[in-house]
Chains A and B, each alone.
Chain A
Amino acid sequence: MKKELATFIVNGVSHDVVITSNMTLVELLRDELNLTGARESCGDGDCGCCTVLIDGKPTLACLTLAVTVKRKNILTIEGLAEGENLHPLQKSFVEHGALQCGYCTPGMILSAKFLLDENPNPKREEVKKGLGGNLCRCTGYNKIIKAVLSVGGGGK
C-alpha cells in the first residue's frame, strides 16, 4: 500500500500524518488522531454516525478517503465547543433531552450545524430534511427536532 506524509487541518489544528492510500477519514481521525466522535456504524453511508464537516459541508467520514481531504478544513464534534462553552446546538441537545445512547449525536449535531449555517431559521420540515441522512434508534427524533428548532428560532 502506498504511504505518504500528509497534512490535515482538524478543528483548526494542523497535523502531519503518514497515511496509506486506502485509509478512510474515520480511520484517520480514530486511529491516528484519537478523535472518536465520528463513528463508523454501517460503513456504507446509510446511517450518518461518521458525519464531519469538511469546509463546512457534511461529509461521511467512513466513505471518504483521507487522501482526498488533505489541507481541507475538517471539523469534528470535538472542535465544536469553545473550551468549556458548548455550542448552542450542543447545549440545546442537552437541555431538550435530544440524545439517549449518544452514538449518533455527534453526526446529528454536525448535520444540524450545517443546516443552521445555511438556513438560520429552518421550519420543522426543513429540519427533518436536513437531518434525513442521520439515523437515530433511541429518540424517535421528536426531541432532536425540538432541540434544533429552538436554536434556529423556528420553533418559537
Chain B
Amino acid sequence: MGQKLSVVGKSLPLKEAWDKVTGKAQYSTTMNLPGMLVGKILRSPHAHARIVSIDISKARALPGVKAVVTANDFPKKLFTVNVMHWQLDGGELMDMYLFADVARYIGDPIAAVAAVNEEIAKEALALIHVEYEVLPAVFTVEDAVKEGAPQIRDNAAGNIVVPPMSVFPTGDMEQGFKEADVVVEGTYTTSKAIQAGMENACSIASYNSGTGRLTVWSQTQLPHMARRMIAHLFDMDEGRVRIIQPYAGNGFGAGTDLNCEPQCCALAIKACAPVKIMYDRAEDFSNRLTREHICKIEMKIGAKQDGTPTALKAKYTGDAGAYMAKTASGAGVALASNITCYEIPNIYQEIEVVYTNHVACGAFRGFGGMQSTFVRETLVDEICQKVGMDPVEFRMKFHRKVGGLGWFPGTKITSCALDKCLEIGAEKIGWKEKRARKKEGIRRKGVGVACMGWLSGAQPMLLELSNALLKFNEDGSCNMIVTPGNIGQGCLGSLSQIAAEVLGLNYEDIHPISYDTDLTEWSVGTHASRGLYCLGLAVKKAAENAREQFLRRAANILKVAPVELAMGGKRIYVAADPQKGISVADVAKDAIYNYSGNSEQITARASITPTAFAPPWQAGFVDLEVDMETGQVSIIKWITVHDIGKAINPMTVEGQLDGGTGQGIGFALYEDTIISTENGKMVADGFDKYKIPSILDMPDNESLLVEEEDPTGPFGAKSVGESGIFLQAPAIANAIYDAVGVRIRDVPITPERIMSALKAKGQ
C-alpha cells in the first residue's frame, strides 16, 4: 500500500505487439511444416443416426490420400473435449469418442482424411460411403424430457444429464418469502452465443514414430490439461505428448475445449506425417462448442418495503446439446456466482440439464454468470420500481461487503469498491437528471444500471495450480516461464511488470516464455479470469525468492549484510549509501562465471494454489433510446466502472473491458446462433448471419477503473478477463423499461421482442 512503484501501474505495450503489427506473428492457421498434409473431417449430416457401416476403400485408393481414419483405427475410448475435466476431482462425464458410433448432432465427426492438398482431401471425403440408420431426434429441452422422447444416450434416462438438484442453499427460503412485502419473478431465456474469434479452429499434429512422441500445435487456453486429455485419448504417457501454443486468434473460452486436435492427432499418427486441420467459418461456427448451455432461468426475489432483500429462489435449466462437456460446472457457476452480489439471507437455487441433438456447449467469457446476472439485475430493477427506491441506491445499500459470503462455500469477500463504481458511473452518465426525463414521442430515452461481483479464478471449486519459473541470464535479464494460455489478453506483459517491479528491473528485461509444455511447468492456463491473479501470485513469489538470492550474493560481494541492501534501477545497493552497489547484471554474471567454486545460474520458482477468490466488482450504466415504431434500440452512451484492485497495466485492463463491452452489446442486442428446432442445425453459421459488432455499431463507450487494493492479490490486483461482458444485457433491459415501460426477459433483445412487448402492453 502506498509503496512507490516504477513498472507496475504503467500502460506498457503488449509483449507480442511488434510481432502482431508487422504480420510476423504465427498462428496455427498461418503455420506450415515441411511435408505437411491437409486434414479434413467427414461429419454427420444427420442429427441422430447410428453408423451401420463405413466404406473407405475408394477414398483410400485416391492418389494423394495419405491416411483415412475412422472409429475402427483406434481403441474405443471415452474422452471429452472439455480439458477442464481434470480440474475437478472426478471430473465431468466423458461421453465422446474420437469418431462417433452414433452421431448425435449435425456435424459429429465420423471419419477424417489426410491428403497432399485440400482439393484431394475434399474429394476423398466425398468418396467415403457411410450407411446411416437415421434415428428420431430432439432439439429442445421441452421435447427431450417428454414421455417417450427419443433417447440420446443409453445411460441418461429421460435425456437427463444433470438431474434437478439444489446447490449451496443458505437460510430458509420459504421463511424468507414470508417476510417479504414484495415479490418479483419471471422466466428468462438467453441465446447460445458463440465466441467468434477471428481465427477459425485449427490444429496441427506431428507424430515421431521413432521416439513415439506426439506434438500438437493447438489454440488451447489450457495447454497442460489439453496434453493430458490427448494422452488419455490415445493411451499415451503424458510426457510423450507436447502441446505448442502459437499465437491464437480466438479464445474468450473457446480454448477451454479442444476443437479438431483429436482427429488431427489420429491422422498424424496414421500418416506418420504432420497434418493440419483448419475449419472454414461455417464449420467453425457449427462445430465449436457454443456459450454454456443455460438457456432458461426462472427466478424469484422477495424484499421488504424498504428494499431489504429477504429471499431468492432460482432454477437454471440447461440445454447441453449432444455432449456433457461443461454442463454441470456451467450450471453450477451460474448458480454460485449469483450468491456473491447481494446480502440475501435465504437462497435456494436448482440446476437441471438435458441432452438434445445439437452441437454441445462449452464456455464463453462470463461463464454461467452472464445468465444469472442478467436475470438478477433486471429483477432487482423491478423491486426498486415496486418499493419506490432508486436502483443505484438499492445496489449501494444491499450489495455484500468485505467479509461477506463469497461465490463458493467457505469463501469470503476480501475487497469491494462497488460503492465507488456506482458513484462514479452515476455521476458520469448523469443518472439523476436522465432518470427524470419525460417519456414521450416516438424515440424515447431511458437509463439503466446493473452491477455484479465476479471472481479471480475458480478456486476453491477447481484446481488452480499456478507455477512460475524465473531464470536469470548473465546480463541480469530474466526468462519468465509461465503458462497464462496466451490468447492476446496481455497477461504476459502484466506478469512481466510484476516480476520487473519486485526485482528492480525494467519491463524489457523480462522475457516471457509460455508456448510449449515441454518447457513450461505445469499450470492451469487461462479460464475464469484467473491469469493475472493466480499466475501473478506465483510470479511475485518466485521474484521475491530470486530477489533474496540476488541480495545474498551481492552482500557477499559488497561485504555487507543482506538486510542492508536494496534492489532497484537494475542495481543492488546499500540502502544507507546508494552509491555503494553492484549491478544486477554483474551479480548474475558472477553467479554463472564464478571461478571460485560458487557457480550457479540464479533461478527461482514458485507454486501457488490460491484460496481466496478476490472478486472484482463492476457497475455498468447505459443511456439509450428506443424507437417506438421499429423497436430499434440506439445506445447513446455506455459506461463500465470496474473495481480492479490494482491495475498492473491500465491500458491492458481498459482493453479487456472495452472488448467486453463490444461482446456484451452483441450478446444483449443481436448475437444468436439460432439452433433450428426443426432439425437441430445452426442457422447463423457465419458473420453474414451471426452479427458481431463492427466499429460502426459501437456506441460512445468508456471503461473506467477504481483501484482499491485487494489484500490477497499481487500488488492488490484482481481480475478483469471476463468482467467487461456481463452488464450490458441487464442494464440495457432496465433502460428499455425506463424508456418505454416494458420488461424484456429474452436475450438477445431484438426489435421484434420489443415491438411484441409494446403491443402486449397496448402501445
Q: Which residues of A contact B (CB under 8 A)?
A: 30, 34-44, 46-47, 49, 76-78, 80-81, 86, 90, 93-97, 99-106, 109, 128-129, 131-145
Contacts and interface: CB of A to CB of B under 8 A. Distances in A.
Contacts of A47: 198, 687
A135 B23 contact: no
B22 A77 contact: yes
Contacts of A38: 23
29 contacts: A36-B27, A37-B24, A39-B249, A41-B198, A41-B200, A42-B686, A46-B688, A78-B24, A94-B13, A97-B13, A97-B490, A99-B14, A99-B17, A100-B659, A101-B198, A101-B488, A105-B21, A105-B23, A134-B694, A134-B695, A135-B694, A137-B662, A138-B197, A138-B488, A140-B662, A140-B693, A141-B658, A141-B695, A143-B658
A43 B280 contact: yes
Contact of A102 (B13, B247, B692, B724): B247
Given A36-B30, A138-B659, A99 B21 contact: yes
Q: Which of A43, A44, A101 has the most C-beta atoms of chain B within 10 angstroms of its own C-beta?
A: A101
A131 to B, nearest CB: 5
A103 B198 contact: yes
Contacts of B251: 101
B198 A93 contact: no
A136 B249 CA distance: 10
B145 interface: no
B737 interface: no
Interface string B671-704: 0000000000000001110001111101001010
Contacts of A132: 694-696
A102 B249 contact: yes
A47 B690 CA distance: 12
B196 interface: yes
A81 to B, nearest CB: 6
B26 interface: yes
Contacts of B27: 36, 39, 103
Interface string B645-677: 000000110110111111100000000000000
A135 B692 CA distance: 8
B731 to A, nearest CB: 16
Given A35-B23, A36-B26, A37-B23, A137 B196 contact: yes
Given A86-B21, A101-B250, A103-B27, A139 B655 contact: yes
B580 interface: no
Interface residues of B, number: 59
Contacts of A133: 694
B701 A140 contact: yes
Nearest to B252: A137
B657 to A, nearest CB: 8
A138 B196 CA distance: 10
Chain B interface, DSSP helix/strand/loop, else mixed = loop
Given A42-B688, A138-B655, A145-B695, 6 more contacts: A76-B23, A99-B17, A138-B659, A140-B698, A142-B698, A142-B703
A77 B200 CA distance: 20
A105 B20 contact: yes
Nearest to B664: A140
B16 interface: yes
A137 B692 contact: yes
Contacts of A96: 651
Contacts of B694: 132-135
B199 interface: yes
Given A129-B696, A135-B687, A103 B21 contact: no
Contacts of A137: 195-198, 250, 252, 659, 662-663, 692
Interface string B1-33: 000000000010110111111111111011010
A139 B660 CA distance: 8
A94 B20 CA distance: 9
B281 interface: yes
B344 interface: no
A140 B635 CA distance: 15
B422 interface: no
B489 interface: yes
Contacts of A94: 13-14, 17-18, 21
B695 A86 contact: no
A36 B23 contact: yes
A143 B695 CA distance: 11
B688 A142 contact: no
B375 to A, nearest CB: 25
Contact of B199 (A77, A100, A103, A142): A103
Contacts of A42: 281, 686-688
A143 B17 CA distance: 14
Given A47-B687, A100-B655, A101-B251, A140 B14 contact: no
Interface of B: 11, 13-14, 16-27, 29-30, 32, 195-200, 247-252, 280-281, 487-490, 651-652, 654-655, 657-663, 686-688, 692-696, 698, 701, 703, 724
B247 A101 contact: yes
A14 B623 CA distance: 54
B21 A109 contact: yes
Contacts of B29: 39-40
B281 A41 contact: yes
Given A101-B247, A102-B16, A105-B21, A41 B199 contact: yes
Nearest to A134: B695
A30 B30 contact: yes
Top 4 A-B pairs ranked by shortest CB distance? A37-B23, A102-B20, A103-B249, A101-B488
Contacts of A93: 17, 21
Contacts of A106: 21, 23
A97 B652 contact: yes
A101 B248 contact: yes
A86 B199 contact: no
Contacts of A136: 198, 695
Contact of B488 (A77, A90, A99, A109): A99
A99 B695 contact: no
B22 A90 contact: yes
Nearest to A143: B655
A100 B13 CA distance: 10
A96 B32 CA distance: 31
A100 B489 contact: yes
Nearest to A41: B198
Contacts of B13: 94-95, 97
Contacts of A97: 11, 13-14, 17, 490, 651-652, 654-655
Contacts of A35: 23
A126 to B, nearest CB: 12
A45 to B, nearest CB: 9
B686 A44 contact: yes
A131 B658 contact: no
A44 B25 CA distance: 23
A146 to B, nearest CB: 10
B21 to A, nearest CB: 4
Contacts of B248: 101
A105 to B, nearest CB: 5
B30 A135 contact: no
Contacts of A102: 16-17, 19-21, 25, 247, 249, 488
Contacts of A143: 651, 654-655, 658
B198 A140 contact: no
A131 B22 contact: no
A102 B27 CA distance: 10
Given A132-B695, A139-B655, A103 B197 contact: yes
